[in-house]
Amino acid sequence: MEITREESQEDVEFIKEQLQESVKLLNLPEATYDILSTSECEVRTRLTVRMDDGHTEVFPAYRIVWNSARGPAKGGLRFHPDETPEMIQKLAALMSWKTAVMDLPLGGAKGGVRCDVKNLSNPEKERLCRQYVKEFFDILGPRLDVPAPDVYVDSQMIGWMLDEYELKKGAKEPGVITGKPLALGGSVGRFEATARGGVYVLRAAAKRMEEPLEGKTAAIQGYGNAGANFHRLAEEILGLNVVAVSDSSGGIYSSKGLDYEAVSSCKEETGTVVEFGNADKITNEELIELDVDVLVPAALGDVIHKDNAEAVRADLVLELANGPTTREADDILNDNGVFVLPDMLANAGGVTVSYFEQVQNASNYYWQKERVLKLLDRKMCSALERVMDMSDEYDVDSRTAAYLVAVKKVSKAMKLRGWI
């Protein structure tokens, strides 16, 4: 999926519109919008990397801090061939709202490199990761800005970045980056945290709405870490019947349901779910339009847009991906009575356990998995209640309510600091 500059800029404008509406509803000073609608710090540069055959490649690279009023900036790092600074801006802003919705003492940031890691060898990826840290070293730190893995960045790449930072720092700083391997100070539960957080918030929402989930159908668009783990946990915890899944090559559908173990084994062996034999082949577009109870976009952004939103037949959309619904589609879904659990709430399990990882790094004491999962469940449920209560109080949709929760918390921190 290609991310165009125009589409990314539209998303940034969507965020600004939501902010403006939130500031107005909350009756906040105009300066609140002026600050929250612009980034706090942007660094754009290029990484020069020596390739295995001896020639040098140049990769555009970015790191954007949107707001740090509530604490050190926090946000993922994406390596994607179609990365744009506008997309990084959008995601940095969303991270600022996400940490506030979850009531974490953190701000929001995002980083990216325009590259195709699928075409890089491991030594080339390592040199690219280390060069990123060298270029952005001065603005990173456990009390400044803490990256984490995002699209096409895995725990091994995080390990290389941690090592490079500590080499330049001349000291051990495990809290400078999260999503680390356990052997380097990572947290148990981090790998599945995004999916598990989505399961917890879906369960809490269903309980509040008095809608049992046992036996209900679900379709998952995207079968990477978040999508695959959601499949497993939705079966185990919620009793959902996952009838369709997809990846970048296409999708599969079975009205009887898809067994997680069988599908994940196929994905591991062949590299795609499409090779799964006991199901019908469908496209990613067809999956979005399936008649299911729960639709879970868990890949890249903008997969629900103005041209397919009318065809969405799910009762509920759980946004495990960042920005999977465009501005026009959001209005259509709301008009059609589709309940959306927005990304800044639904996929916040990852940043929440990343925060737990930072706390453990700072104390040099590491928790058992039971404690991590219990705290994550509590955080997701509390955030859901805040959003739903705000929705009831102001009679707004869930995404607007999440913005209201976030803007209220961030603006309070800015006021206490004397920014407004």
Collect all residues with Cβ–Cβ distance below 8 Å to 242 and sequence separation of at least 6. Answer: 217, 218, 219, 220, 231, 234, 235, 257, 258, 260
CA distance 9 to 400: 20
Contact (Cβ atoms closer than 8 angstroms) between residue 347 and residue 326: no
CA distance 41 to 20: 21
> Between the CA atoms of 220, 92, 102 and 182, what dihedral angle is there, to the nearest 10 degrees?
70
Sign of the dihedral defined by the CA atoms of residues 294, 298, 303, 304, in that order: positive
Burial class (CB in 10 A: 0-12, 13-18, 19+), 12: middle
CA distance 122 to 135: 20
* DSSP H helices in 271-326: 284-288
Of 98, 110, 267, 379, the catalytic one is 110
DSSP tag of 221: E
Size of the chain, expressed as the number of residues it contains: 420
> Between the CA atoms of 37, 412, 408 and 100, what dihedral angle is there, to the nearest 10 degrees?
80
Q: Which two tokens stand for residue 122?
A: 């491991």
Strands 250-253, 280-282: pairing is antiparallel
CA distance 164 to 103: 31
Strands 294-297, 316-318: pairing is parallel
DSSP tag of 182: G
Strands 280-282, 339-341: pairing is unpaired
Sign of the dihedral defined by the CA atoms of residues 313, 336, 381, 325, in that order: positive
DSSP tag of 322: S
Contact (Cβ atoms closer than 8 angstroms) between residue 294 and residue 225: no
**Three-state SS for 40?**
coil
| 110 included as an active-site residue | yes
Catalytic positions: 110
